[in-house]
Structure 1
Amino acid sequence: MKGLNPRQKKLIYLLVQNENYLPVSFYSEKLEKSSRTIYSDLDKIQKLLPKEQLVLEKKPRIGIQLRGTVEAKLQFLEQITGISTTAVAESQERQWLITKQLLIDEETVTQKMLAQQFHVSPSSIVSDLDKIIEKYRLALEPSKRGTKMVGSEEEIQNSLFRFCEDYLDYHGINPEELFQETTQELLSKLFTPSLVKMTLQQIEELKLQTEFCFPEHYVKSLVIRLLVFCFRLSRGQHIEEKDFLFDQIKLIDTYLIANELLEKIAKVHGFEYNEEDISYVNRQLVGYGVKPNTNGQKNYERYARTIQKILENMSEIMEVDFLADTQLAERFASHFVPMIYRLKMGIAITNPLVEEIRSQYAVTFSATRYALANTEEQLNVQFNDEEVALVAMYFQVSLEKSQNGKKILIVCPNGVGTSELIFNKIKRILPAQDTAEITTLDKLYRKNLNNVDLIISSVKLEAIHKPIIQVSTLVTQEDIKNITALYSNLFYSEESNEAEILEFPFLKNVIDLDFIYTQKRFSDKQTCLNWLIDRLEKKKVVTKAFRKEVFAREAIGETALATGVAIPHASPQNVLQTRIAIVTLDQPIIWDQRKVHYVLLMCIAKEDRNLVRGVITDIHKIVQSEKQLKCFFAEKDAIAIYNDISRR
């Protein structure tokens, strides 16, 4: 506009930028002119303001402020200066940049520093910070050095999520434009471009596959949530998962997707992640509506009979009618076809939960392995432990749903060894459908206890509103009685008997004195297995194919337990007679990187599938602790071992 010099145009720019009342001295300092000159400039600007839209308001001893809507201010600025409103670094843009410095760059800032950086007054910065706190629910902490971001990791990530959502919404990015180059460029102003590209690429690829449904209206939120989470992981920050394993397994459908997402992004960007990080991403997938696609049932017709057979086998083994659970059938079918594809193509998966599942759900895991083994020859695949563990969780969820098992936490602050001791003793007296899980004192107070039915602890617990039984570290007989009595009072209407003496109703019927070998010495597990299988073949207990399958299974999964025992096995079709062969070793051998003192080779014939669960349960009564193993096998001859088991 004619008649205005560059200084006066700059003054208009500053008036538009600053939303608060500021003294004339502020503007005179910025423009390096006297207050008298600024007053003169203001009078001239006042005459140019559009009537009824903008007012230059003056308050004595407070300052001056340009009053009006943002649109009117920007329109006036564009008219006066010729600068497009899109190029103006207005207050919104400034607030984004300040938020980025605090949330993403994790800087400590001062009002003076920000005022100088953005050429505005400190009071404008105070106003900006107030708006940032309100809009993004960001917690800030002032100190002598300045202001910095504070809060839990979950709170920080939630603030980051709101910030990114606001940023994309302002720029008009809708779900259809989410995977376009424009979005990538916008987000790359906030985060590392390669991380943005990889995150968008992974979600886009998942959207294109047909095995899972991705609700369109949630995809944008999911992208932001995953991007924020991976960015914070790259900074070494983790959100602790609030649920225990027995709650996490209910979300097993999408666990593999969560694992693959993190695995691919972490591989490119070199950050580390753990099981809890996978569980968190998995919970986000479920929360944003990602679920198996059950509409394309024609894709499963080819394997329908096989799936039915596995459900029948598991029903027979576990003595539970899994066929009646229609939800299980649908979920398992959705998982089955991709699993077979992975196995046929040699695509290995990583299942970080496999050790926990194998330990805490030993019976279900072993039963699943046997049920799947019956289909391996027909499908021309071999199921590894990672895949078996995933399938086992579908059945475990169904089992808990049908039998209403209790969720029990075992708390011990003195380390894993002590916790395992308590865990192994307590598991013996709990009903088979109950689930026990070990946790630390620290995690107990941080995690969600809503689904926990009972807590057993070796230390006194405060402010926990759940039934608690305190036991000694060694779990005495008196402790066992107390647990049994309280369990009975809590969950049974009738009185319960005292802890039962250990019995082996199934195992005693399948052991044979001819197949118990004591104090043998072998150089390695291969020599041991060959020696043992030679004797089984000679007595026509197994087929010639049994040996090859045992070694194939050893190659794809671990059969040695931490307690010092190995339990090798093969599928029922290569077993002619049901037997459990037992070997005690004069000296331990290395087996799956563990020292093994005892070997129990499981041979269960096809016609005896109904014995699998019982035999596995009985075996786990013995192998769950080193003390128990020594009690039954150490320094005993074959007759003593046979009598001890068969008479129970």
Structure 2
Amino acid sequence: MFLTTREKVILETLLKNKSGNTLDYFSSQLKVSRRTVQRDLKNVSHTLATFHLSLSKTEQEFQIAGTNANMFKLAQELHQAEALDQTPEEKNWLLLKILAHQQEPYKLSSLATDVGVSVQTASSYLDVLSEWLTPLQVSVERYRGSGIQLVGLEKNKRQALANYLLQHFDEQLVDLLLELEQEKTESVDWFAYIPIDTIKHINCFEKKYIADTHYQMAMNSYMRFLIQLAITLHRIESGFVLEAHEPSMRLTDDAYKFAHNFKKQSDVPLSHVEEYEVAVLWQSAVQLNETMGGYDSLLINRLVHQLINSVSDQLNVDLTDDFSLFQGLLAHMPSAIFRFQNNITVYNPLSADIRRQYPLLFMAIEKAIQEELNGHALAIDEMAYIVLHFGSALEMKKEQIDIATLIICPTGIGASKMLATRLKKEVPELTQHAIASMTDMQKLDWNDYDIVLSTVRLQHPPKDYLLVNPLLSIEDVRSVRRYIKEHLPVIMEQKKYLSSTRVVEEQPVPLTEDFSTFIGELDKTLAAVHSLLDDLKVTFDTSGVSYEKILYRMVQANVKMKKTGAVDHIFEQLIWREKQGGLAIPDTNMALYHCRHEQISELSFAIVQTQQPYHLKGMDAREWPVNNFILMLAPENLSQSELEIVSMISALIIESPKHIAVFSSGQEVLIRKQLEQALQKYIINKTQRNDKS
């Protein structure tokens, strides 16, 4: 029985005082926070379960519930159990930080002494640690006669240190952030690798910087940023610096600005390489807006639309009109794409639970993303965040979908049951299993089953099947999963994607209020449509002036302002956006200049086609010849309908080769017709959506 010292004290106290003890009592006796006691009680509860006992709570007091016989067995085990002051995770953390601090191989005996375990135990811990480090391209090398050494690039070692803390001590890190918010000064023992003053310094600077800018950081992103930057500073101070390399990531001016400002007020000297790394850490943590990350909003817009369409088709459920889902993904995907492009990992503590709870949704999203990223896949932790967006849109806690599996196994009942058992364990998506012999299969209707597996080759089968080994090898598991992924749309065609949560009927909204809201939103929709179509202009320019001059004239001619004098400000914002990431659309001769501004009163859309092409920076950082300049301007504050229309038009321009040809044709009649068809479809869908709701 493995117990920490605190857990053993809690169990002994509960056994002695059967009337119960409060959380505050344990906190006072153990000299730790209430949150720490709650974590210990969770582990205590697991220990009690092994003795057929449970932890009950009466009002504010905790007690052990169960028979006296089982309590006696627990007391006997406690008497013989030797408590450890640290968990295996804490021991591995000690090993990792000690090895990361060594320039030369370190003797195993010295390492064992430092950690407080035997040489054999230290060696076992190192085996576990080595396996965990492998995906991060860091290895634990053992040199005969010399000792143990951590081998890998400095950047990878820093990432390993940060990942281990975030993965195994996330609750303690939350405690740390809460302490910082409350301006407490206590240090945390297990966190001794990084001076607490360094953490405080970064926290104060970042909080002030975020407050002075329009950027935001999610809680988990901020925690990762804080730990990574603290480790970076500590490693530099300890003499471990990054290897010189050429900058490979496309960063924003604001990322460089943050790094430069941080460098000026930091006590730790930062080289150009380290300053660049700080900029990378900051940009990977902030919630990127539509002009950041090297992936302009137009491409993100298209990616999100196609992702939603693909998942909808695979699951046979229409999510294309869910604007909340669209907006959520539009906010999340720029950061996800930036991390993907630059090989930056993110830790999601809920990944395993999400994947287990939404297996088919996870599979559908994985396939959709691979299609959009040319066969590449996002990391599991990254995809889990995307699954949550879709899971929320589907308003469910669990997929209630039965995938019926026919197992043909003529080699005997034992082999059949072995295969069925292996399927339940390795492919939980297959929820119904029917086992048939060669004779039985002739009587069955194969169309009643979504997937057919056979342990022998079949002659003239009624439908496709997969040949598998009765023991279901790893390759068989991959084949089954691949089959499900490829045939998911067909499987889902006759099924429903339902919520496992009980649907609570809401009180009906009074008809007058509901109708009034609907009419108001419809008025805004029609006003936005009229504004776009009434002033749609497609003109030609043969002047040969600079493209900046052409763009300035477009703003002058098309912007609908609340007051005069805003043309210069709007033009400057468009140029600033272009400098941030380029606005030429890859693989086309078009560039889309778009912005929202407080002085713009109505939506407007215009195209100017030039006689000569201008070589402009594209959204993919490459140069493209452009002779079609598209300008779309919008007010700063848009209604939901206006937001939907702007997003729809942005995606429409590059939706297909046909659409690209139309919008680059210079033919106003064709362009107007394309916009009218799309807007008409949007209005029809919107009214139907409101009718269904």
TM tier relative to shorter chain: 0.3 to 0.5
Q: What is the TM-score with the length of structure 2 in the denominator?
A: 0.37
